[in-house]
Structures are given as structure tokens and as C-alpha cells.
Chains A and B, each alone.
Chain A
Amino acid sequence: MKPAAFDYVRAESLDEALEVLRTEGSDARIIAGGQSLMPMLNMRLARPRVLVDIMHLEELRKIEVQRGRIAVGAAVRQAELLEWPPLRRELKLLSLALPWTGHAQTRSRGTICGSVAHADPSAEIPLTLLALGGDIVLRSAKRLRRVAARDFFLGMMVTDRNDDELIEAVQFPAADGRRCAFREVARRHGDFAIVACAAVATDRGVRLAVGGVADIPVAREFDARVGDALEDALNAFAWDLDARDDLHATARYRRDLVRMIGRELITEVMQ
């Protein structure tokens, strides 16, 4: 279980990192905290030709609050954001979800943007970003663009990021006192979610986002329905996610959790 050989670039500027991506395309991988990538390297599931380490780029180490959005740079570690004093106030949902992301020993290295880039359908950070209606800021040598989370995740570990782009930051809309709730079911604490649900109050009702079921995190708006109407809407949502059986859970069990936890969170947030 040792990685295959790769070159290593310790990027000293953002341009340098982007230049490697431009010339090497999908044979280059960005390494930030490495907590998703390293297991894949060790198992030789991933065999990039070159790794670009961006953790020394000061400009990516920032958490910035600007115009109602909180931008988290690509080199910000999960533990750092968790310890960011305004987190509970500004991003309550994330403060609820982050402790579920891996363990203290991986949050200490893993980055927020790295988890988004990896696009594991069970991961809490992409789910939260989607639930809050956040954006991903992508930069290549040629341009800078912003993609909404709902357009970013395309499939299992597949995103809208082009091979020459890196995620420079992700942006979360700051909370304006909206109610939110998070709940996750995993086999053991710290495991990948079997079902993770995040709910956020919106102008029209509640946005419920679900991870761990479909190939990407999926969000749906629920208006102020109650009773049978809500049950039916949740049931339709559960089925639409196209759950599968795997080693740890069945499709039916996942749908059950979506229906039950969905109802619980929606009720909680709507109160």
C-alpha cells in the first residue's frame, strides 16, 4: 500500500499551481490537506503524474466575510474553520455538520475546499454548501468563474471543475438568523454517512438537502406543507434519490431515513 511515483510541486504562487494544471491537465492533482487523496494514492486508485501542494500559498489561507458571504480559501483546514470564532453565528449549519466530517485527526489536515473538490456523495461539507446555496470559485490560468453548488456536483466524485482549474475558495451565504438543522446516520461515528440531512429555512419554506443516497448531494424545497402532503412530498423525494443497496445499508432503509429524518428536520426548522 504505497503510492505510485509522482513529481511534487510545492507551489510558491497561485500562478505556478495553475500553470501545472494548464500543462498537465488531469494528470496533475492538487494536494491540500490530502485526507481524501492520500488514501487513494496509497491504494493506487489514483496515480497522478504530479501533485501540486498549495498549502504554502498565503492567499488561500483566508476566511473572509464579504457582502453577506463567507469565503473559505482552498488552504483553510477543517479544524481551522471549526475553531473560527464567528462560525456558530455566521454558519450555524456548518458548525453542526463539521464535527461529523472524519475525525479530529483528519480535520486537522483536511481542507474545506478539498472535500468539495473530492465530491464524495456522503460528505458533509458539499452537502452543507448545497443546502446553504453556496458557490464554488474556480480559477484557471485563463479565467475565474463562480459556479453554484447545485450546478457543481455532477456525479460520484465528478464535478464541473475543468482539469485546468482549481477551487480557489468556496463561498457560503452568511446566516441571516435562518433556522437550520443537521442530522446524520452512519454505521459508526466518523464513518461515511448512510444518510445525512441538512435543512435550512428559506423564504418559501425549507430546503432539505440529502447526502449519502444519490451520487451527489441533492436538495429540494419544501413549502409549508404539513401532514399527509408533507409525507407524500418526502416520499417522492426519497424515491427520486434512486437509493441503492450496499454493504452497509439497503435502499429501503435509506429511503426510510430520508422520510423520517426529513420530516423531523423540516418540522424542527419550520417551528
Chain B
Amino acid sequence: MNLSATAGAPTGRPWIGQSIPRVEDPALLSGRARFIDDVGVRPGALHAAILRSPHAHARIVSIDAAAARQARGVVAVLTGEDIKALTASLVVGVKAPLECWPIAIGRVRYAGEPVAIVVAESRYLAEDAIDLIDAQYEALPAVVDPVRAMSAGSTLLHEGFPNNIASDRSFKYGDPDRAFAEAKRIVTVSIRYPRNSCTPIETYGVVAEYDPGEQAYDVLANFQGPFSIHAVLSRALKVPGNRLRLRTPPDSGGSFGVKQGVFPYIVLVAAAARATGRPVKWIEDRLEHLTASVSATNRATTLRAAVADDGRILALDWDQVEDCGAHLRAPEPATLYRMHGNLTGAYDIPHVAVRNRVVVTNKMPTGLNRGFGGPQVYFALERLIQRIAVELTLDPVEVISRNLVPANAFPYRTVTGALLDSGDYQTALARAVDEGGLAELKARRDKARAEGRIYGIGFAAVVEPSVSNMGYITTVLTAAERRKAGPKNGAQATATVSIDPVGSVSVHVASVPQGQGHRTVLAQVVADVLGLTPGDIRVNAEIDTAKDAWSIASGNYASRFAPAVAGTAKIAAERLAGRLARVAAAGLNTESDDIILAGGFARSRRNPDNRLPFSRIAALSHWSPGALPDDVGHTIRETAFWTPPELTPPDEQDRVNSSLCYGFIFDFCGIEIDRVTLQPRIDRYVTMHDCGTILHPAMVDGQVRGGFAQALGAALYEEYAYTPDGSFLSGTFADYLVPTVAEVPEPLILHMQTPSPFTPLGSKGVGEGNCMSTPVCIANAVADALGVADVELPLLPARLAETVRGAEAAAPPGKHNTPKGDRRLSGKGGARVAAAPEQVWSMLLDPATLAAVIPGCRGVKRISDTDFKADVTIGVGPVKGDYRARVTLSDLDRPNAVTLTGTLDGALGFGFGKGRITLAPAADGGTSVHYRYEAEIGGKVASIGGRLLDGAARVIIGQFFSSLARQAGATAAESKITAAWSRLCRWLGGRR
């Protein structure tokens, strides 16, 4: 039996390696695909909406859902306590005494955290009821910065994490202390890597049902894996794994890691289904997705290198502080450890010290995101390389190439434990420099600079890990803890090839594609083995944990499809082919060695005319099992499991081969920064990839381009931004800026193919690499252009102003700058009121006046002489909301001055403000009122209306004072009101 891949294609050319059209496309192009929100639900299914915390950190004082429960179409309102009664805590990835719930219990820890879930007959009605829930909070200080979070005085998020530190581990490999002690030079970079996310265009979706008779859940979700999470889910739902049937829809609108993060919502929605006894559907909306799905980690890194004069790195010292947000959700802190084996990147560095701390802060919890740990690590490592070049006045390409792992060293064991499978980094680099036109790019730079333009070139060399070792995360535990917990390692992939009664072939895998074209590639792989065409093969990549072969490693992550899943399908097909060859040999009176499967036939190699149609051989096992040779068994279905032996658990010295394959990428780019807008523009981008054997060139390029575009977004536009008080600012696609066609240039993509010796097809992962290499390559170019050492992502043009232009032109006399970076609202103003100060004063203290003066005020309640409560409706333009207001007067200096402290909270958010009002008699017997205020606003309106917030708040405050003036005027001189009112309006609103 000849199983060489050349068997299949009629041309003799294997299907693998060809960019055939995708089988997925016709349905996607004509609106017939089935995404989760397309598949329909049982009659009687209900729809969920979630009430979310406006606060970053607060104690929940009370939740009054009575009105919501009475609302039209509402079936249930569930709070944290209700969910807690039905479920168990999610497991936490480190050893610590604490719990992790999918909904706030007693306390909210990030803006957007679920507080209650409403289940109603439609999403519209569920959202109506959300507005009727009255949740009261007592705000707590928020912890936002990861480094400050660890300081002694910081508020604790979880009692189980002292100093907000979830884990603190130090590692030594080789003898870094000595290397640093003896080093001639030490180069250091300090990095703050920001938060961002790959934000698929389709959001999360869950449909859940509970069968009380069988005490079993049936869940459909656009979850992407890893299916280790299935164990987390069944534990949280308090059922054995076989009573949680988890299925995925046929199509998924992108994931990039992010749809792993749907799992807490699976628990929430499943519990709601159980509570209501009805199927419940929840489709996340974009605002929910941006505030509360999952983010990549932000990280504070200090990386030091002991360096020889020629630029050779002798040792590295990593200090990483990883910010996982409010809860340490599975599989975190995996982001930090995924790169552990390859912390030396593409370089041959013998000594490494590492300190890894994981902290919690009042931000959205983190999880999988394309690149997963790579962007953070390589940003530090490749910035370091650039700094070494600058500080030693060397050519960066020289520094890179001097440190690369030598071509003859593969497989190469890094000092931290990775086994770099294959490659020839020097050749890849040399080819990129040559074919990518580096010399010409340098000439462009020199010319641009000579013309006074701002231009720079950046580089990055990266190894891209793929096929994660399921045990790498246990590196966070000590060796002793690991011994106690039992070994974890490997990466079990599965694939099933089956043959039906007419001999047509189906393939099933548990790879959960989200647009990568897995079905097409598997058809190619299996067609080659069975001598058929891809069109003969039907592939199903949905998963149903109740019926399909799967393991904890199943799913679409860690770039495991090409190296692991496709290879496993090949193994399954080969096993079947081996048996089919024996069946054919019996039918053709020859030996199975003589059989080849090609062109839809099984035929004799010696005598090609001696042949039988494939379908005939293939169907025999159904129709006449007795006719099969005895040793064949059957040929109906073959399921292969495959796990690479190279993925061993971390050893006693904490060395870990965190991934199976390591591709190589070398990027360089030229960037020009516009002198007026300071916008960096990519002039040229070259990216060289060695991802082993390429199965489908167009798809590989598609992965590279897609990753590149996301990385460009992370470098230049995207950030999940928080204020120092934990308010979230990137709640819409008008604030979280995903690049459009106008922002994304086309990179020049180059390839080299060094097959992996460890994977069945020789391929390695390729989808994540540019998310690791591109942000730092761009940053290096900008650093080169501006001649600066510190480059912060995203590269907001406004941030470059000081660097490029120096100090600003002075303000004309009388004007002064607002404090930089201070997003608190502050302002001052004044008004002339046609009433004497004493009169104005008594009005200010009179609830009746306050009622008349505060816009949209209903019923002021006086709690004490200086304390008032009211319900107010505030509107700015079309934006209108109801709030509870509380106003306290203090520092009373009758009739000259008073301080007003106020809080507001309502469905649109909350505000806190303090203002000092001074009254001075005016010449005409009136009063000139002056005020100065400071305010902070948070919650929904901050995250979705940030751009408009300042102005809107000024309008509201202006309204307050102008109606105060009007009120005062009304008692004094009726005739002047209109003129004064319109002047004031103009003055307050327009200022000119």
C-alpha cells in the first residue's frame, strides 16, 4: 500500500499544498450559513438580558427586582444569590482560598460585571425589565494599575489574594546571577503592554436547556474550546460531564481566542434555563462584548539583558507583572505561562531568570486572545534587541542574527525547556532581507530623512509556538504542588473518518473552526490519502460532546489545526486506507502492498488495469462484512487519537516544553510619521514565515494578513481603556477602533518551509505569529523614527506631540492649560442674577427652589437642613435619563459661599461632583454668582458616550445655574428674565 500523498490528485499533484476554493464559501456568500443566532430555538424559548455593574468596585447594598418581575413578558429575574444556589464556583487556576462566579455575589469587581439576569419572552422585553431593576451600591476604591495593585495600601479584591497577588513565582535557568555579575553591559527595557482584544464581529451566543428528568443540560454555544473548560462547566453546573451536552453551531463568526471566554455565560444561561424550566437564549450585544467579554492581559515587564560588546545576549532577567483583571478565570494565568518555554525567543541564550507575578485588578477578566502571551513577551524582548543595537551602536539586524539559534542546532532545547523543532533562522532572515528589499528601504529612509521627514525602520524576530502542551499551565505551581496534583501534559487530538453504504467518505473533527476553512483542508488531506477528490469528502467540524470523539485539548486555539488536527485526520484516513487496501487486494487477487488508491479507484500498482472503484471496496463493510478478509475487521469508521510524545510535563527544574512546534517569523517595516497629524503610516511591511509544510497557501496568507491587521490595530488604534477610577472608556466601536480598509496596508508575505519533524504533515501553526511580531516591529520603527527609548502602545498620535514638537506654544495671558491626562471634569463659570445675595442664598437652601432649579426634578426630600434627596430627569439633546440625586451643602458662609456635594445614579451611570458657589453683590443690586466644580462620571454613559461626556456635563451644570438665575430673577424683576436667560444660555453653552 502506497500512502504517499501523491496518490490522490488526477494530475498526480497532491491536493495538499493547493489553494482550492473553500467548501465553506457558497453558504457564507449567499446568506445560508448557520451562525448561532440563525439556528432558531424551540417554541417557548425565552431570551435573556443582563444587568451589569456601572461601578468598577462596589458592595451591592440591595437589588430590588419587584418591578422588573411584574413587567410585561418577564418570566424570571435572577441575582447572584439565585445563581449561587444552582451552581458551584468556577475553578480557579492557582491554589488559593477563593471563589469565582459568573455573576457578582455581594460585590462587583469590574464595570460591566453581571449583577442580575432577566429572562423574558423577547430580548426587547428583557431589556425593558433590566431598566426596572433598582440596584444600590456602595462604591469601594478601585484598583486599576497592576503594579500599584500590589502595594500595601491597595484595596483588596479578594481576601484569598494577599496584596492582590494571585501567584508569585521565581525561576532560574542556567546561572543568570553569574552572567549578570560578569556582564560588561546591561541593557534594560521597561514596558507597559496595554489591554486589547481581537473582538470577533460575531458576539457570544448561548442557548441552554435543562431536563429535570435526566438532570442534564443541553447547551449550544459558539464556544471555541479548549474543551478542558467542559470539565469546569460541568463542575460549576453540578452535574457529571455526561450530563452536560455541549454543542457548537455549524458556523462561527470569528473568535481569535475570544470565544473561549463565553464559558461563564454558559453557566449563567444554563442556570437560568434550569430556574425557569424553559430553553433560554442569550446573544451578547456589542456593548456587553466590549465591556465584559474577555480581554488580553495587560502586563508590566522589566526585562534586563547581560550583553557582550558584540551584542551577544548572555543572560536575560524577566520581571513580569500580569494583570488578569477582576477574576482569575480558567485557564488563566495561562497567558503568562504559554511562552515560558520560549522566553528566549528565537535566540540562543544560556541563562535566564524569571519572576512572574499575577495580580488582580478591577477590570474585565482576561482570557484567550490571538497571540496569547506572545505580544506581551515579544514586545519586551524585541524592544530590548532594538535598545541593544542603539546602546551598542550596532545594526539591529546584526544583533538579531548574532543571537539566533544556529541552523544546525535543531531540535534545540531552550534553557527554559522548549524543544524548538526545526528551522533555519539565518536563511529565513537572509532571504527576507534580500527578497523584502531591506537595502532599498534603507535608502528610502535616508532620503526621507534628508528631506526632513520623520521615518524609521523596525525589525522583529519571533518564534511562534503552536499546539500547546496541556500541562504548561502547571508551571505556575511548584514542583511539589505538581507532584501532589498529578501530571498534566500532552495535547490529545482526534479525528474520525467514516464510510457510508454507498462508499462516500465523511470526516469529523473536534476542531471548532471559526472561519479558518478547516473543512476544506481536511477534505484535501483525506482526499490525498484515499485517492479521491476533496469534493468527494464531506467534513463536519461541529462538536457535540454527547456523541463525538473529543478530549480536553479539542477546540480551536494555540494554532493547533494544521499541525495536530489535520495530521490526526491523516492518520485516521491512513488506517482506513490500510484496511481498504487489504479488502481491495482480496478483490483484485494481489497483495495489499501492490494496491494504490488513486483517481477514485483501488488498483494494482503492477497492473493498473486491474482495479475496482473505491466506492465498491469502501461499501463492502456495510453490505457484506463476511466478504472482508479476516484481519480487516471493518472499514466503516476510524477514529484516531494523537498526542505528541514531546509534550512532557514540566520537570523538577520547572523546564517545560510549552508547545509542540515553533515556527519562525522575521518582520521588518518602514514607517513615516506625518508632521502635522503625527499619524504613523506604514510605508512597507515585510513578513517572512516558516510554518513548516503549507497545506493551503491562500489560507496561510489569509491567516497572516488577518493576524497582521489585528496586530496593526493593537499597535496603532485599539485599547480597552480604563480611567484611574476603573470606568471603562471603550464601550463602542466608535471608541474601540478596529482598523478599516483605509488603515490596513498589504504586507509583503514571504515563506520558507522547514517541515516539523514532530507533526504528521510537517506543518506548524501560523495564525498567531503576526500578533506577536507586528506590534513590536511597528514600535521599533517608531522608536527609530523618533529616536526615543520609550514607545507606548497604542501609538496614539497625540501622545507623540511632546516628543516631536517639544513644549507647546504658550497660552495667551489669562488662559491656562488643563492638567494633562486628567479626565476629571472641572469647570467654572458665573452668572448675574437679578436678586440680592441674601435672597439667592435662601433660595439655595430651600428645597422648593432646588426642585424648581434642578432640571427635571421631581420631589425634593429634605433629610436635614443641609441634606436633600430627589429624583431627577436629566436630558442633554436626545440623551435623557432618570437619576437619584443626593445633594449635601457644606462650608456654609451665609450669604457669601456654599459648597454643594452631589451624587447621581441611574440607568445611564453615576456621577459625583463637588462645587463651590460664591455670591457677591453686584452694583445693580443683583448678585454675581460664581461657581467652580469638579465631577467624575462613570457607568454606561462613560463607556459609550465618553466623547460627549464633558460637554454634556457642562450643559447640565450650566442648566442648573441658568435656571437658578431664572428662578432668582423671577422673584425680582420679571421683565429681565428672557434677556438674561438667553444671554446666560448662550454664555454657558456657547461661551462666545
Taking beta carbons and an 8 Å cutoff, which residues of A are in contact with B? 1-5, 26, 29, 37, 40, 43-48, 118-122, 151, 153-159, 185, 187-192, 194, 214-216, 218, 231-232, 235-236, 239-240, 242, 244-257, 259-261, 264
The answer to whether A157 touches B948, judged by C-beta atoms less than 8 angstroms apart, is: yes
B737 touches A158 (CB 8 A): no
B947 contacts across to A, CB distance below 8 A: 122, 192, 246-248
Q: Say which residue of B678, B812, B876 sits within 8 Å of A156 (CB atoms).
A: B876
Question: Contact between A247 and B946 (Cβ–Cβ < 8 Å)?
Answer: yes
Task: Count chain A CB atoms within 10 A of each CB in B131, B805, B817, B991 and give the residue with the most.
Answer: B991
5 CB contacts below 8 A, A to B, read: A1-B286, A191-B734, A244-B818, A251-B817, A255-B808
Which among A44, A118, A245, A250 is the interface contact of B131 at CB below 8 angstroms?
Answer: A44
* Interface residue B721 (Cβ < 8 Å from any Cβ of A): yes
Q: How far is the CB of B823 from chain A (nearest CB, A)?
A: 6
A245→B820 contact, CB < 8 A: yes
Asked whether B672 is an interface residue with its Cβ less than 8 Å from the other chain, the reply is no
- Distance, CA A29 to CA B877, complexed state (A): 10
Closest CB in chain A relative to B950 CB, distance in Å? 5
Nearest-CB distance from B141 to chain A (Å)?
A: 23
Given the known A-B contacts A154-B985, A188-B737, are A247 and B951 also in contact in the complex, defined by CB atoms under 8 Å?
no
The answer, among A2, A48, A187, A244, for a CB contact under 8 Å with B950, is A244
* B958–A155 touching, CB < 8 Å: yes
Neighbouring A residues of B128 by C-beta, 8 Å: 4-5
Inter-chain CA distance A121–B734, complex, in Å, is: 15
In the complex, whether B955 has a CB less than 8 A from a CB of chain A is yes
Asked whether, in the complex, the Cβ of B945 is within 8 Å of the Cβ of A190, the reply is no
Partner of B730 from A47, A122, A157, A247 at Cβ < 8 Å: A247
Q: Which of B541-565 contact A (CB under 8 A)?
A: none
- Residues B798 and A250 in contact, CB atoms below 8 Å apart: yes
Query: 1/0 per position for B724-737, CB-CB distance to A under 8 A?
Result: 00000110101101
B954 CB within 8 Å of chain A: yes
B residues in contact with A236, CB < 8 Å? 812
Interface residues as binary, B437-457 with A (CB distance below 8 Å gives 1, 0 otherwise): 000000000000000000000
Nearest 9 CB-CB pairs, A to B? A157-B877, A156-B951, A155-B989, A154-B989, A253-B798, A215-B951, A46-B878, A1-B285, A189-B742
In Å, the complex CA distance between A33 and B128 comes to 25
- Closest B residue to A250 by CB, please name it: B798
Chain A neighbourhood of B801, CB < 8 A? 250, 252-253, 256
What separation, in Å, do the CA atoms of A251 and B730 have in the docked complex? 19
> Which of A122, A194, A251, A253 has most B Cβ within 10 Å?
A253
Other-chain residue from A3, A185, A240, A244 in contact with B815 (beta carbon distance below 8 A)? A240
Contact present for A40 and B879 (CB under 8 Å)? yes
Residue on A with the closest CB to B818?
A251
Known: A157-B948, A214-B991, A215-B951. A188 touches B739 (CB 8 A): yes
Please measure, in the bound complex, the distance between the C-alpha atom of A194 and the C-alpha atom of B822, giving whole angstroms.
18
- In the complex, what residues of A have CB within 8 A of residue B467's CB? none
Q: List residues of chain A with CB within 8 A of the CB of B805.
A: 256
Instruction: Find the residue from B797, B799, B878 having the highest chain A CB count within 10 A.
Output: B878
- List, in ascending order, chain B residues with CB within 8 A of A245's CB: 818, 820-823
Residue of A nearest to B284 (CB): A1
B 111-142 to A, binary, CB cutoff 8 A, 1 in contact else 0:
00000000000011001100100000000000
Please determine whether A2 and B737 come into contact, CB atoms closer than 8 angstroms: no
A256 touches B944 (CB 8 A): no
Chain A residues with Cβ under 8 A from B877's Cβ?
A: 118-119, 156-159
Q: Which residues of B does A touch, CB under 8 Å?
A: 123-124, 127-128, 131, 285-287, 676-678, 717, 721, 729-730, 732, 734-735, 737, 739-740, 742-743, 796-799, 801-802, 805, 808-809, 811-812, 815, 817-818, 820-823, 875-881, 907-908, 940-941, 944-948, 950-952, 954-955, 958, 985-986, 988-992
A240, B952: Cα distance in complex, Å: 19
Is B952's CB under 8 angstroms from A260's CB? no
Instruction: Determine how close the nearest CB of chain A comes to the CB of B673; give it in whole angstroms.
Output: 13
B123 closest partner in A (C-beta): A2
Most chain B Cβ neighbours within 10 Å, of A159, A216, A244, A260: A244
Q: Are A216 and B818 also in contact (CB < 8 A) when A155-B958, A156-B948, A191-B737 are?
A: no
B950→A256 contact, CB < 8 A: no
- State whether A43 touches B944 (Cβ < 8 A): yes
C-alpha gap A154/B799 in the complex (Å): 31
Q: Give the chain B neighbours of A246 by CB distance below 8 A.
A: 823, 946-947, 950
Contacts A45-B878, A216-B990, A244-B818 supplied; 15 other A-B pairs, CB < 8 Å: A29-B878, A43-B944, A44-B908, A45-B881, A154-B990, A155-B954, A155-B988, A159-B877, A188-B742, A215-B951, A244-B950, A245-B821, A249-B798, A250-B801, A259-B809
With known contacts A218-B992, A247-B730, A155–B955 Cβ distance under 8 A: yes
Complex Cα spacing A249 to B794, Å: 12
- A156 and B880 form a contact (CB under 8 A): no
CB < 8 Å: which of B798, B945, B951, B986 contacts A121? B951
Provided the pairs A47-B880, A242-B991, A249-B796 are in contact, do residues A158 and B955 lie with their beta carbons within 8 angstroms? yes
Alpha-carbon distance between A260 and B945 when the two chains are bound, in angstroms: 28
Q: Are A157 and B734 in contact (CB under 8 A)?
A: no
Look across to chain A and name the residue whose beta carbon is closest to the beta carbon of B743.
A188
Contact with A153, one of B721, B822, B952, B990 (Cβ below 8 angstroms): B990
- Give Cα A64 to B359, complex, Å: 64
Query: Inside 8 A of A46's CB, which chain B residues have their CB?
Result: 878-880
Q: In the assembled complex, which residues on chain A have CB atoms less than 8 Å from the CB atom of B729?
A: 247
Q: Is the CB of A154 within 8 A of B818?
A: no
